[in-house]
A = this chain, B = another copy of it.
């Protein structure tokens, strides 16, 4: 090692970075590997919505909130990449902790590119993604023998510098779909799906704060999506769509919506 703590052009220029999935929310839905790495971490750069008990596992680490809050002020992705490289130069064990799974709507590619370009060694630790936690919590499987054999994970949310996407076409071509970050623009989401020819009576199931104590479920049909969303709080929500969700509607006390939660 050089006097500055790193040597350019040799194998060891920096510490190791772990891109780690924090899971859906509940601290005990973290993987054992993620928990161990948090315990070893010198520094943790984490998303906004990671549970305090999860962060508490990083008992010897500097904690840095680089969270990008949907709709609110957010940390620029390039800034996060710079912070990550700076952390890797100074520390042996760097954990970049992302909500859910890092490879699904986690914008991992930008961070991977930055780490590769800088020659920083890294590893990725998968996590439980929100849709699977939502399915477990509502006891409604995403696949269902004879009814659903394809599940798509999409987001209707478009970044400022991105073009539109064919998310609605994907949903229309899938037996079941999990829509991430879809609750904010319920009218756009509903209209996008109806424009693809989806039946207005298609069952939908909204799950807010999946796996957490304030988790809430709302079941209804696609045409009523904006009314259902209006009953939600402002927590992160997953929208499940498809015939496999009909079992959630069956037990609904009213034809429009069933609310459950604490």
Binding site for B on A (CB under 8 A): 21, 23-24, 26-33, 35-36, 101-110, 112, 122, 124-129, 132-133, 135-137, 139-146, 149-155, 159, 161-163, 165-167, 169-170, 172-175, 211
Once bound together, how far apart are the Cα atoms of A146 and B32, in whole Å? 33
8 nearest interchain CB pairs?
A: A173-B173, A124-B136, A103-B135, A150-B170, A28-B33, A150-B154, A126-B132, A126-B136
How close is A75's CB to chain B, nearest CB, in angstroms? 16
* Across-interface contacts of A110 in B (CB, < 8 A): 145
Does the CB pair B167–A149 fall under 8 Å? yes
* A104/B142 contact (C-beta < 8 A), A165-B150, A170-B152, A173-B166 known: yes
- What are 10 pairs between A and B in contact, CB < 8 Å? A27-B32, A29-B33, A103-B136, A105-B143, A109-B144, A125-B136, A129-B129, A151-B153, A153-B153, A170-B174
